[in-house]
Amino acid sequence: MISFAAGLLAAGIALPAVGIAGIATRDAANTFNNLKVGTLGLAPSRSELLAADGKVIAYFYPRDIYRVPVRFDQIAPVMRHAIVAIEDHSFYQHGAFDLRGTLRAIANDLHGGGNTQGGSTLAQQYVKNVRVLEATSSAQQLAVIDDSGLKGLARKIQELRIAAEVEHELTKNQLLAAYLNVAYFSNHAYGIQVAAHVYFSTTAAKLNLTQAALLAGIVNSPTFDNPVGYPQNAIARRNQVLQAMATYHYISKATAKAAEKAPLGLDLASAPTRVGCFAAVIKSAAWFCNYVQEVLIHNYPSVWSQINSGAGGLKIYTSLNLKDQNAATAAVDYVEPPNNAEYNPANNADTQVMVQPGTGKVLAIAEDRTFGQGRGDTQVDYAVNSEYGGSEGVQTGSSSKIFTLITALDQGYPFGHTIRIVNPSTVGPYYNCHGGYVAPALFRNAEAARGGTYNLYNGTALSVNLYFAHLEQQVGLCNVVKTAVRMGMTRADGVSLLKYDKNLSPGYRISADNIPSFTLGAVNVSPMSMAEAYASVDALGIVCKPTAITKIVTSTGKQLPVQSGDCHRDMSRSVAEAADYILQGVLTYPGATADNRSIGKTAAGKTGTSNGGYYAAFAGFTPRLASYTSVFNPINPTTTGAMIGDPGSCYRELDTSGGPTCPGQMYGDNAPAATWVYAFLRANTGQDHGWPLPPPNSVFWSEGNGNSPPKTSTPTPPPTHKHGPVPTPPPKSPHP
């Protein structure tokens, strides 16, 4: 059939075309059989974003064109009959090449015969419609539609060749369904399923005779026969379809006559304009969806191109745990409800991220804001690094003491290691990783009178700032920062803690090993990075990069490679066991910073409060689930947004009998810890098997368990350093 058609078309002298037009026709026809078919055959289709349990949570549409393909058996027979009758009545008898119609169209186009002639068969129309959907710009779309001149002729012949291949690859029923799935029905309605919804608030399977005839009449001229803009034109065209259906014996003439008297019968519903992560159906997972989208854009550019401007049709499986996500979303919205004059009058932000220890899988991302473009909405994901749609990061307060604690345990400091402190005190000097001198800094405890002697266990449980300032000096500031790097930490913009960061404002660009208050959380990082670090302690010394994509499958079933969590050991198992033991004390030791927070099972955590009420945080975890929560005011957090008194620090406590809670200053045990408890009481926290203790003969027990006075009180001497040149003093820390 193809060779026969090409041979007839090659007889260009039979057409009223001369000169270069005749030569172009002849040359195009001679190469007809050798034209490359390309990848056309199936239209660009939506890609699916799936949760860990396989439930679809979002759809990504190429170029955000909302289209919902359906199978042949999901299209009402009357709709199939209507489109064949009016557009290609011999569809089931001919092949892809309708010689008479094609020659007529070519002759008309070459001689400027008014409107350009479209593809005369459904197969040819299908090819053209797919090319329109594939176009990545308005100019490309116009080029596909314009069949005039020699370029149009060459394009038409190529489309004919592709249509022949489509006819070869698809059955007639498959092709008819494919055509109806790519046809444009005006009013942003692509495909029969969306058109049925837009015009009649129904599905393609439930269309009746007059509805089907109306839709079939639109495709030839979507603008002129638009039933919303030109209802009389639409009725006239619908009646032409009914007459054609009677002519070709799909319905009787009497049925056609009766149907012609019916009104338009529109029941309009808008085609969704909010797709992807903006779609309303995604609900609580919008922030997780946005993170995955940013990961695709930055880490999987070829996959994102296929999703957004290519063939689509991908299934992106993620690590999202819907139970955990719903729990986290409910928690942030309960404790710091957005735009709530009673419980959150300052409109503080509350964000929580959950990860799975030992795998790096991101299980949930929540934020007490609506992801969107409307008034009061935002697209800034406060939980993640700025590269992935995050902000400039958060200060972490005392939750960063974890890095000094791990460094001390790694160097063999026991639970009973004591340090006598005076509050306030100037502590130093320190030394950076190049041996450079770092000037002493003034530190004070949160409670003005808290002085005396503390050990590693109760110094952590009580979060004694001066204890950790001295401990950081003893174990080495450089070593503490290196521990943080080993546990996966970077600045919020992704720059290493050990490097100069030109992205920051002057005075804050120096590397973290020049900042004595690093142990008190003076460097801005993302909550996700902190969750990753605490998860490595939770996983007994295995750190993993956060991963949200577990599998990508193409429409043909091929699996594309995905990035792993690169899990590896960042500390010894015994050090992690020792840290888990101490961090449980934050929830159980009398007077500890979070001793009133319990979820009824084994858990550990660490509070964090930055000086001045700027940021508050809580890292909390069970053996199965690790999280990090940060609360702050995103509008000028270190000035007018400070969470001080009423209304700045108000939030909803778990017990609401007394109304809103408005402490003098927001601390980590306030809204952040309340968010953690609320979420973990509803999340999948796993079995309560606890963590193993360090072996009884390990060095950690050599000076007692930290709960009682140690047998001895011999602090480990501070490490010695090579004195180098004195660097420029770091800026005054916001966390004295």
Q: Does domain 68-260 have CATH number 1.10.3810.10?
A: yes
Q: Could you tell me which residue, 732 or 679, shows the higher pLDDT?
A: 679
**Beta carbons within 8 Å of 367's beta carbon, 6+ residues apart:** 287, 332, 349, 350, 351, 381, 382, 383
For 116, what's the count of Cα atoms within 13 Å in the CB-facing half-sphere? 17
577 sits in which H/E element: helix 573-588
Does an H or E element contain 631, and which?
strand 626-632
Q: How far apart are CA 190 and CA 185, in angstroms?
A: 6
- Tell me what pLDDT residue 375 has: 79
Q: Does position 713 have pLDDT exceeding 60, yes or no?
A: no
Using 50, 70 and 90 to split pLDDT, how confident is the model at 104? low
Whether residue 77 has pLDDT greater than 90: yes
Of 74-78, 416-420, 447-451, 685-689, the least confident:
447-451
**DSSP string covering 106-150, please?**
HHHHHTT-SSPP--SSHHHHHHHHHHHHH--SHHHHHHHH---HH
Strand-strand pairing, 315-318 and 47-50: parallel
How many residues in total does the chain contain?
A: 736
pLDDT the model gives residue 34: 56
Same CATH topology for 68-260 and 398-406+413-519+706-736: the answer is: no
Per-residue pLDDT of 263-317, as tens digits, reads 999 999 887 767 889 887 788 999 999 999 999 999 999 999 999 877 789 999 9
What is the model's pLDDT at position 113? 42
Residue 603, pLDDT > 80, answer yes
Written as six digits, the tokens of 87 are 């557009």
CATH code for 398-406+413-519+706-736? 3.40.710
Helices 172-182 and 77-87, interaxial angle, to 10°?
90
The predicted structure's pLDDT at residue 308:
85
3-state class percentages of the chain: helix first, strand second, coil last, to nearest 5: 40, 15, 45
Q: Which residue has the tokens 């060459």?
A: 154
pLDDT given for residue 724 in this prediction: 31
3-state DSSP call for residue 615? Answer: strand
- Burial group, residue 311, by CB count within 10 angstroms (0-12, 13-18, 19+): buried
- Tens digit of each residue's pLDDT (9 = 90 or more) over 533-590: 999 999 999 999 999 999 999 988 999 999 999 999 999 999 999 999 999 999 999 9
372: tokens are 């969107």
Domain ranges of the chain: 68-260, 398-406+413-519+706-736
For residue 137, what pLDDT is reported?
62
